[in-house]
Amino acid sequence: MVWLGVDLGDARVGLAMSDPELSFAHPEGNIEANGDSFRALDQVVDFIDDHTDIDLVVIGLPLQLNGEEGKSAKKARRWAGNLVKRLEVAVHSDDYTIKTIPEIVFRDERLSTVSAHRQLSVAKVQSRNHRPVVDQQSAVIILQSALDACE
């Protein structure tokens, strides 16, 4: 059993995975989105196909500071809906080994990018080097918060 964390962005979609014991999240890289996170959907499906032990996908939900869902949160929900549709197609395709569709859940990601930048600074990563890793670090924060909530 492994969980996948996803941080949606228009430039990059960050990915993180849990350990099999569901204790710790670790970065798994970024998928270039080239201006629209929907462009990364096929690569996320391929990633899930390559890691057949994923049974839960935790997607960051960018709520507004007052806790309400705005435009970005609605886009994240549409993205997740499209992910489910593509996974359903993959389950019935000879090109994929996906047997079952992982459960999709959302996790409040307010300020996850700010926290990711802070963690990178504490780790002595120079600020000019944050851009390539901040999305995957945000995915780690989103996933770790979901793991911690299940303890």
Give 15's strand partners.
6, 29
Give the SS3 label for residue 23. coil
Q: Which tokens go with 128?
A: 């000019």
Q: How far is CA 127 from CA 33, 54, 89, 119, 131, in A?
A: 22, 32, 41, 11, 8
Q: How far apart are CA 137 and CA 110, in angstroms?
A: 14
Record the pTM: 0.88
How many structural domains is the chain composed of? 1
Domain of 16?
A: 2-149
Q: For the domain that residue 82 is a member of, what is the CATH number?
A: 3.30.420.140
**Each residue's pLDDT tens digit in the chain (151 positions)?**
999 999 998 888 999 999 999 999 999 999 999 889 999 999 999 999 999 899 999 999 998 888 899 999 999 999 999 999 999 999 988 888 888 899 999 998 865 565 555 655 565 555 555 465 668 888 998 999 999 998 6
Q: How far apart are CA 93 and CA 112, in angstroms?
A: 35
Q: How far apart are CA 137 and CA 71, in angstroms?
A: 23
Cβ-Cβ contacts under 8 Å for 88 (sequence gap 6 or more)? 101
